């Protein structure tokens, strides 16, 4: 019976870990695509091929290994991203680049399909089960040479753009999520953000800082109230335990035990003063500094005069 419980627990733990991994891979986004690469970025072999950039939108590291990239919705498992490569771990808000060169033997980041300049290109990223679609995009036709097609703000899909337009009055990024980019940025941010949108929104809605002040004070006072209630609760629990111990040890009633445990503060002050009088108060002798001579053991064998020779006298 015990072994069955341990086995069930391990299975539940494995399932939870798999679900956590699956949930984290959903933060990956197809971020930028270059279809016609003539004089732009080259791979480790010095060749120009189309490439696909994946972006991690989360605040934690995500391992893309085990997921699938494809250019055919009917073949979701077209290219399984190999496991065991540390480079497949994408740091928070960072990128990874895949080469669509139909040469997977060149490395883990070289796909077994390519992108075509004479027609629209569908690209999809599937989770490790080969069924859950994480993200997809159709690159429109025609494409220009060395001009990529990417998200205007890294990781922001059209749903995020629409939400910002509706809810954030400080948002001024436009209504499109994807656009052509003459400044091609492989493995780096598509847009350099020189402002903080949260700070800008705060300055717009609370220019005087009163909201921040009241919020900070509210948090502090709320914390103090919570601490008071916690200490009060702990004190009551300790008092009840002392009552039970007194009743159990002395056979007292509940009322008598309350009288024992709820002593006046004056009584505790008198007890503390008595302890101080008994341990700290002495006569004036403790203020006198006594110096005693240190007895040294002397032996003529250790005297230096016996180790010196007399200077011979000349006659």
Roughly how many angstroms between the first and final C-alpha of the chain, as a whole number? 112
Tell me the domains of the chain and their CATH numbers.
Answer: 2-145 (2.60.40.1260), 211-287 (no CATH)
The predicted pLDDT at position 17 comes to 47
Alpha carbon distance 186, 309 (integer Å): 92
Phi and psi angles of residue 137, each rounded to the nearest 5 degrees, phi first? -155, 145
Which segment, 5-14, 66-75, 259-268, is predicted with the most confidence on average? 66-75
pLDDT at residue 19 greater than cutoff 60: no
Closest by Cα among 49, 28, 34, 56 to 125:
28
Is the pLDDT higher at 150 or at 298? 150
pLDDT of res. 168: 79
Contact residues for 300 (Cβ-Cβ < 8 A; gap 6+): 306
What confidence tens digit (pLDDT) does each residue in 153-196 have?
899 888 888 888 888 777 777 888 999 998 888 888 876 655 55
Q: Kindly state the helix (H) or strand (E) to which residue 82 belongs, with its residue range.
A: none
**Residue 52, pLDDT above cutoff 70:** yes
pLDDT in the model for residue 312? 64
Q: Which of 19-23, 54-58, 152-156, 286-290 shows the lowest mean pLDDT across its residues?
A: 19-23
Phi, psi of 14 (to 5 degrees): -60, -40
- Please, which pLDDT band fits residue 14 given cuts at 50, 70 and 90? low
Average pLDDT for the chain: 81
CB atoms within 10 A of CB 58: 16
Model pLDDT for residues 262-299, shown as the tens digit of each residue: 555 666 677 777 777 766 655 555 556 666 665 666 56
Neighbouring-strand partners of residue 27: none
Percent of the chain whose pLDDT exceeds 70: 69
Residue with the bigger pLDDT between 313 and 176: it is 176
Query: So what's the pLDDT on residue 130?
Result: 94
Backbone angles phi, psi at 150, to 5 degrees: -150, 175
Phi-psi region of 220 (alpha: psi -120 to 50; beta: other; left: phi over 0): alpha
What per-residue confidence (pLDDT) applies to 125? 97
pLDDT of residue 21 exceeding 50, the answer is: no
pLDDT above 90 coverage of the chain, percent = 44
The more confidently predicted of residues 202 and 196 is 202
Which of the residue ranges 48-62, 99-113, 195-209, 241-255 would you say has the lowest mean pLDDT? 195-209
Mean pLDDT lowest for which of 10-14, 66-70, 127-131, 273-277? 10-14
Higher-confidence position of 300 and 250: 250
Least confident of 123-127, 228-232, 245-249: 245-249
């Amino acid at each position: 019976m015990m072994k069955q419980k341990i086995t069930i627990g391990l299975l539940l733990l494995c399932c939870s870990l798999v679900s956590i991994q699956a949930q984290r891979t959903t933060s990956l986004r197809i971020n930028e695509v270059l279809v016609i690469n003539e004089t732009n970025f080259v791979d480790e072999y010095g060749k120009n091929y189309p490439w696909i950039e994946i972006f991690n939108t989360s605040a934690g590291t995500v391992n893309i290994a085990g997921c699938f990239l494809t250019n055919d919705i009917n073949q979701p498992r077209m290219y399984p991203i190999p496991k065991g490569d540390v480079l497949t771990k994408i740091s928070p808000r960072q990128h990874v680049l895949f080469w669509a060169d139909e040469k997977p033997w060149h490395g883990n980041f070289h796909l077994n399909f390519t992108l075509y300049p004479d027609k629209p290109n569908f690209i999809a990223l599937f989770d490790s089960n080969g069924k859950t679609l994480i993200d997809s995009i159709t690159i429109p036709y025609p494409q220009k040479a060395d001009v990529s097609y990417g998200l205007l703000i890294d990781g922001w899909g059209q749903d995020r753009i629409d939400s910002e337009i509706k809810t954030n009055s400080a948002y001024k990024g436009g209504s499109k999520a994807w656009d052509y980019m003459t400044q091609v940025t492989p493995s780096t941010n598509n847009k350099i953000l020189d402002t903080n949108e949260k700070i800008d929104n705060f300055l717009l809605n609370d220019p005087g800082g009163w909201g921040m002040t009241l919020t900070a004070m509210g948090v502090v006072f709320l914390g103090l109230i919570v601490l008071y209630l916690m200490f009060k609760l702990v004190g009551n629990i300790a008092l009840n335990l002392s009552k039970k111990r007194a009743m159990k040890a002395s056979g007292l009633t509940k009322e008598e035990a309350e009288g024992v445990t709820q002593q006046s503060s004056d009584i505790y002050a008198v007890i503390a003063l008595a302890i101080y009088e008994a341990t700290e108060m002495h006569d004036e002798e403790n203020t006198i500094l006594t110096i005693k001579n240190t007895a040294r053991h002397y032996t003529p064998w250790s005297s230096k005069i016996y180790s010196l020779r007399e200077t011979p006298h000349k006659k």
